[in-house]
Amino acid sequence: MIVRSLFFATYRDMAGHDELAVELPSGARVADLVGSLRARGGGLARLPDSPVVAVNMDYAPLATELADGDEVAFIPPVAGG
């Protein structure tokens, strides 16, 4: 299956992209996606190993199981207001 990873602010600067399509085995969880991204090396190696993520626009724990087409956003500390 394929999931879309979105990067914002400092994570965007690390990743060098706004988004990345990632292929994962079915049954994969958010934690597996994080591991897969960090293993690519480059700036992505600096992603925290427990980042805050939102799956399809809901904050979700790392144990969340992913489905094909899910949108996983990596959310660095927010600073609105």
Q: Does 27 bind other proteins (CB under 8 A)?
A: no
- The secondary element (H helix, E strand) that includes residue 37 is helix 30-39
Q: Tokens in use for 73? A: 């956003």
14 and 7 Cβ atoms separated by less than 8 Å: yes
Q: Does 14 bind other proteins (CB under 8 A)?
A: no
Q: Does 52 bind other proteins (CB under 8 A)?
A: yes
Q: Of 37, 44, 55, 72, which lies in the binding site for other proteins, with binding defined by CB under 8 A?
A: 55
Residues 6+ apart with CB under 8 A from 35: 49
Q: Of 1, 20, 24, 75, which lies in the binding site for other proteins, with binding defined by CB under 8 A?
A: 75
Q: Does 80 bind other proteins (CB under 8 A)?
A: yes
